[in-house]
């Protein structure tokens, strides 16, 4: 079995409140949206630019970026910033935006609490008066959309809410008739889902409020007949701490951010989790851009990780960016039997 590890390269205190979203531009610059502002980092993780939001801005989760603009989700709509601290435009006055999720094909999924998901196409325009979004279509879902992620190898978006249904959709066709196995209210777990990610072949991983995680079988996307995607694994190793974010950057590597600030990772074929605590509060953001993975959350810190077996920390740059991980952080391994049977009433 090939062992893939995470190596903590550096921790960057951004000083703008909690981290709400991270994305990469085509030139590998990193755009980070925080509670109180936006930061642009170069590929060596040095700060190039930063600006603050207007005082009444309430940011949501996620961010999208082109080479000319940053698109920030807020409670009142999508705000389009040129890379200038003094200019902002409010486009698409969608209320109750919970999260935005861009994919590699420049399609943006806008998740709304009461109204499901909107798909829009990102346009890389230099004109500050032209919206960077072109509406494509909408996908409603009962009781709103709180969780969602793109498949890494297909234009498929998986979305749903914490208590009811999780659906599969594509941005160019009517909603697929594929969804995760759903129990009756008397059989379902008494805690909400709190995280979702999609791996290769449209495999879905779900994190729960009590730290339990589920992995579902590879999905077949159907537009004609109903397809129910069944659970194939339930892992209780992390039980007791809420899973607040998930990432599946490689087929063999599943990563979980926890409410206590710990980051846990494991080989998808092995039930042993390794853990490190790089944050002092819940981890809301986990994003990967190989060979990196970044984590961010309530403490306003951005942690940069290397994905593979490299053991050399990121070289300190001229700007003074250093590995500030305290030496008292403890790495631990948790092992727990993993249920591999068919779904059962819980």
Range of the domain at 125: 53-140
Q: Does a structural domain hold residue 225?
A: no
Q: What are phi and psi of 273, to 5 degrees?
A: -95, 140
Is residue 108, in this structure, part of any structural domain at all? yes
The residue among 190, 159, 164, 152 whose CA lies nearest residue 175 is: 159
pLDDT tens per residue across all 346 residues of the chain: 456 889 999 999 999 999 999 999 999 999 999 999 999 999 999 999 999 998 888 999 999 999 999 999 998 888 888 887 666 676 677 778 999 999 989 999 999 877 789 999 999 988 877 788 888 998 877 667 889 999 998 899 999 888 778 889 999 887 788 999 876 555 567 788 999 999 999 999 999 999 999 999 999 999 999 999 999 999 999 999 999 999 999 999 999 999 999 999 999 888 789 999 999 999 999 999 999 999 999 999 999 999 874 443 433 332 323 333 333 333 344 443 333 333 333 2
Closest by alpha carbon to 119, among 143, 96, 142, 92? Answer: 92
Identify whether the C-beta of residue 256 lies closer than 8 Å to the C-beta of residue 245.
yes
- Which of 102, 84, 113, 344 lies closest to 233 in space, CA to CA? 344
In a domain, 70, yes or no: yes
**Residue-level pLDDT at 202:** 93
Report how many domains make up the chain: 1
The answer to whether residue 269 sits within a structural domain is: no
In whole angstroms, what is the distance from residue 203 CA to residue 220 CA? 10
Whether 99 and 62 have beta carbons less than 8 Å apart is answered as yes
Q: Which residues contact 117 (CB under 8 A, 6 or more apart)?
A: 109, 110, 111, 138, 139, 141, 145, 148, 157, 159, 169
Instruction: Establish if 23 belongs to a structural domain.
Output: no
Phi, psi at 200, each rounded to 5°: -60, 150
Residue 10 pLDDT: 92
Q: Is residue 99 part of a domain?
A: yes
Within a domain: residue 135? yes
Q: Please name which of 291, 333, 296, 329 lies closest in space to residue 310, comparing C-alpha atoms.
A: 291
The pLDDT score that the predictor gives to residue 184 is 57
Q: How far apart are CA 176 and CA 212, in angstroms?
A: 27
Structure tokens of 119? 């798909």
Cβ–Cβ < 8 Å for 9, 315: no
**Predicted local confidence at residue 203, as pLDDT:** 95
Evaluate whether residue 9 is within a structural domain: no
Residues 83 and 68 sit within 8 Å (Cβ to Cβ): yes
CATH number of the domain to which 104 belongs: 2.40.10
């Amino acid at each position: 079995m090939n062992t893939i590890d995470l190596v903590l390269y550096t921790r960057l205190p951004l000083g703008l409140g909690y981290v709400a979203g991270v994305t990469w531009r085509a030139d590998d610059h990193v755009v980070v949206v925080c509670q109180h502002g936006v930061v642009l980092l170069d590929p060596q993780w040095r700060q190039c630019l930063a600006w603050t939001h207007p005082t009444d801005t309430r940011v949501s989760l996620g961010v999208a970026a082109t080479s000319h603009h940053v698109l920030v989700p807020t409670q009142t709509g999508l705000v389009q910033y040129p890379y200038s601290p003094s200019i902002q435009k409010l486009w698409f006055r969608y209320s109750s935006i919970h999260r935005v999720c861009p994919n590699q094909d420049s399609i943006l999924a806008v998740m709304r609490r009461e109204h499901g998901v909107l798909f829009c196409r990102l346009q890389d325009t230099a004109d500050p008066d032209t919206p960077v979004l072109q509406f494509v279509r909408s996908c409603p879902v009962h009781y709103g959309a709180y969780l969602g992620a793109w498949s890494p190898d297909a234009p498929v978006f998986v979305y749903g809410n914490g208590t009811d249904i999780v659906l599969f959709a594509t941005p160019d066709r009517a909603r697929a008739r594929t969804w995760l196995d759903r129990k009756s209210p008397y059989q379902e777990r008494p805690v909400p889902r709190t995280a979702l990610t999609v791996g290769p072949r449209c495999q879905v991983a779900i994190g729960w409020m009590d730290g339990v995680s589920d992995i579902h079988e590879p999905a077949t996307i159907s537009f004609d007949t109903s397809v129910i995607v069944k659970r194939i694994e339930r892992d209780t190793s992390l039980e007791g701490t809420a899973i607040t974010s998930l990432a599946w950057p490689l087929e063999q590597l599943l990563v979980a951010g926890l409410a206590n600030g710990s980051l846990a990772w494991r080989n998808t074929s092995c039930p042993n989790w390794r853990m490190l605590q790089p944050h002092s509060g819940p981890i809301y953001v986990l994003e990967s851009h190989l060979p990196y993975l970044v984590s961010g959350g309530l403490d306003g810190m951005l942690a940069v990780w290397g994905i593979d077996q490299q053991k050399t920390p990121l070289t300190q740059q001229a700007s003074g960016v250093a590995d500030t991980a305290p030496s008292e952080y403890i790495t631990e391994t948790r092992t727990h039997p993993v249920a591999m049977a068919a779904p059962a009433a819980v």
